[in-house]
């Protein structure tokens, strides 16, 4: 958020804080969530590039549409394990995963 906007909001009586602070996440927890979000976005980019629906992707991953949706949304019930394994299944290499994370 731009600091100018932050100032305006605070003047108007809003308390501005990061999602992490709001949710009471520690630095590590926040970083962990960010990492999952990054992987989820990576997965969605791959899917949309291939013009697939979540359902079609689910078939390739031997999973379900709902789980794909949760992966892309970095749902709390989705592990980094699942995200990484999914990307690898789709042909990503370690370097690609690293780039998605960094």
Partner DNA sequence: GGAAGGTATGTCAGTGCTGACATACTCGCA
Partner DNA sequence: TGCGAGTATGTCAGCACTGACATACCTTCC
| Interface residues toward DNA, by CB under 7 A | 53-55, 58, 61-67, 69-70, 72-73, 76-79, 81-82
> How is residue 87 written in tokens?
């990307």
Among the listed residues 2, 15, 49, 94, the single contact to its own copies using CB under 8 A: 94
d(CA 8, CA 41) in angstroms, rounded, equals 31
CA angle 75, 76, 81 (to 5 degrees): 90
* Minimum CB–partner distance for residue 9 and its own copies (Å): 27
Residue with tokens 């804080």: 17
Q: How far is CA 2 from the centre of its chain?
A: 22
Q: Can residue 101 be called a binding residue for its own copies (CB under 8 A)?
A: yes
CB closer to its own copies out of 24 and 81: 81
> How is residue 26 written in tokens?
């520690």
CA angle 86, 88, 94 (to 5 degrees): 135
Q: Can residue 35 be called a binding residue for its own copies (CB under 8 A)?
A: yes
CB closer to DNA out of 51 and 94: 51
Binding site for its own copies (CB under 8 A): 28, 31-32, 34-35, 38, 79-81, 84-85, 88-89, 93-95, 97-99, 101-102
């Amino acid at each position: 958020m731009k600091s100018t906007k932050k100032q305006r909001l605070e003047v108007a009586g809003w308390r501005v804080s990061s999602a992490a602070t709001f949710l009471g996440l520690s630095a590590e927890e926040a970083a962990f969530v960010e990492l999952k979000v990054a992987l989820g976005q990576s997965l969605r980019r791959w899917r949309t590039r291939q013009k697939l629906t979540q359902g079609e992707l689910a078939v390739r991953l031997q999973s379900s549409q709902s789980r794909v949706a949760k992966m892309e949304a970095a749902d709390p019930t989705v592990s980094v394990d699942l995200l990484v394994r999914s990307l690898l299944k789709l042909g990503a290499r370690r370097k690609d995963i690293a780039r998605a994370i960094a």
